[in-house]
Structure 1
């Protein structure tokens, strides 16, 4: 059995203060993918990684982004987009020799080159399972139709910022579609199954947003964003594992705003996914979003999404 968890921690140091180490110790996933690590190498709280071997792409944008993959055994291979990759194990922290880090999908698609140093993607080949795991933090983006823009008179500078964030995300979509297909095909050619997990910053269906009607004009639920996610899915390509196991359920949500009573009222969004090749998806026996017991116990504005894969069936 392979227990794979994805968790946007909204800053690893803040998550440590709020109790993520206790959750890891209690849940003990075989593989844990983290997004929004948001921490320079010399300030990473290494105790969070105890008991694991980890690789981390921190990115070069101070206080933003960063992804990490934690595994019980050292990975057979690690691939990124060409930026710095750190290794964390019992020996401490080190920078991986670039010669040991492959390029995901062979090389970044042209549209992804501007994202190479942003700390948004890593993939690893597990040593003890025939599975390649990708860890993704997709840009949040923005919307000119969002309520916050429509209810005030934005300055030209503000509008330009909104437009730039929107276009940034659209360019990522274009490039990542190509890279995702390349990574999936490369895994299958090598005799492995493929799964990409993480924060996609897109809710796919109405059931994935509690208040879906107003959300239609907000970043994360725009028609073009939802259409992009639809295009990544298919019976021969990638399966939304959580939705496959919870076909008729609202949610289960994985993100709630810190503001107001969103968490207490379960006014959430499902934006954290496991997208797996069909053969691997069919081995999933459970999928849970491990929502904190109450607002005061929250580690992040996201909760972990954990899937159990019966890999003996591969």
Structure 2
């Protein structure tokens, strides 16, 4: 059984103070994808990655983004858009390594140094695992109404940037999926996509059609990514068309206590891998005081590779 988790930790140092290591020891995944690590390499707490082989792209935006994949064995190959990553290994100091992507999809170069994507080939399984942190985005200009927004109107700039990113990433993902198949590998995309796909993925969905993260354009993009022959939304397939389980709740008010949340953290698996799912769960903490992040981990067990 292969246990895989994805977790937006909203800052690894803050998550450590809130109990991340306790969660990690209890869940004991074989592979863990992290988003929003948000730490320069030299300030990553040494204990957090102890015992793991961690591949980390911190990006160059101070205090923002940063993605990682933790594995039991050193990965067979590593790829990032910047062409470099930092490798952590048990008993060793972190070292910068080369991690080139053979051909960068058109439009991705402007995001190469933002620490949004890292991809590894597992050494002991025919599986490629990627960790993605997709931009949060904003509202298109026609929906921006001063006085009704938490942020200052920006003329649609954040929205346009997110849509550009998604268009470029779709090209990249299609290429990665095909390359994995040609190499005899399954593909698992993990991460915070900052999009709730279906009405069951956001509380009070009728009120959210004009909210970033649930815009029709964003949801249509996910429609194109997800399909029975391409990538399968593992949690939704296992849980069916029911409300939740959610993976993100605002720190504000009683959103967590009342389970007013969004599901924006995903396992998207190629069909061969998706067929091996034994269970998939969201690790929602019992109380607000026990929260590690504003996100919860999504954990799946795969009977992979399948028996011959």
Normalised by the length of structure 1, the TM-score is 0.94
Alignment of 1:159 with 2:157, yes or no, is: no
- 1:68-117 residue CA offsets vs partner (Å, 9 max, x unmatched): 1000111111111125310111233333332xx130xx322121111000
Aligned match of 1:286 in 279, 290, 293? 279
Gap change, CA 1:211 and 1:90, over 3 Å in 2: same
Between the aligned partners of 2:140 and 2:81, the Cα distance in structure 1 is: 30
Report SS of the residue matched to 1:225. helix
Matched, 1:119 2:112: no
In structure 1, the partner of 2:238 is: 245
Distance 1:199 1:33 in 2: 10
Task: Check 1:91–1:242 CA distance in 2 against 1; reply closer, same or farther (3 A cut).
Answer: same
User: Which residue number corresponds to residue 68 of structure 1?
Assistant: 68
User: Which of 294, 298, 302 is the aligned partner of 1:305?
Assistant: 298
Q: 1:275 to 1:49 in 2, by over 3 A?
A: same
The Cα shift of 1:313 comes to 1.4
Whether 2:259 is the aligned partner of 1:261: answer: no
Deviation for aligned residue 1:50: 1.3
Look up the match of 2:223: 230
| 1:36-185 equivalences in 2 (<5 Å) | 36-98=36-98, 101-103=99-101, 106-144=102-140, 149-150=144-145, 152=147, 158-160=152-154, 163-185=156-178
SS in structure 1 opposite 2:157? Answer: helix
Partners of 2:141 and 2:237 lie apart in 1 by 31
Q: CA deviation at 1:145?
A: 7.4
Equivalent residue pairs, number = 306
Classify the secondary structure of the residue corresponding to 1:288: strand
> Which residue is equivalent to 1:7?
7
Q: Distance in 1 between matches of 2:131 and 2:74?
A: 16
Contact 1:81 1:107 in 2 (8 A): no
Q: Which moved more, 1:244-253 or 1:284-293?
A: 244-253
Distance 1:93 1:118 in 2: 23
**Aligned partners of 1:208, 1:146: CA distance in 2, in Å?**
25
Q: Is the 8 A contact 1:145 1:217 kept in 2?
A: no
- Distance in 2 (CA, whole Å) between partners of 1:82 and 1:89 is 21
Cα drift, residue 249 of structure 1:
2.1
RMSD: 1.7
Tell me the distance in 2 between the aligned counterparts of 1:163 and 1:146.
8
TM-score, normalised on structure 2? 0.95
Q: Is the 8 A contact 1:133 1:194 kept in 2?
A: yes
Instruction: Tell me if 1:270 matches 2:268.
Output: no
* 2:211 matches 1:218: yes
1:194-215 CA-partner distances (Å, limit 9, x unpaired): 0101000000000000111111
- Structure 1 residue 185: Cα displacement: 0.6
1:234-269 per-position Cα deviation (integer Å, ceiling 9, x unaligned): 111110000110113211100000100000000000
Where do 5+ consecutive residues of structure 2 fail to align? none
Quote the Cα distance in structure 2 between the aligned partners of 1:11 and 1:61.
13
Per-residue Cα deviation, 1:166-218 (whole angstroms, up to 9, x for no partner): 11101100100000001111111001000101000000000000111111111
Q: CA deviation at 1:309?
A: 0.4
**Contact 2:86-2:97 at 8 Å conserved across structures:** no
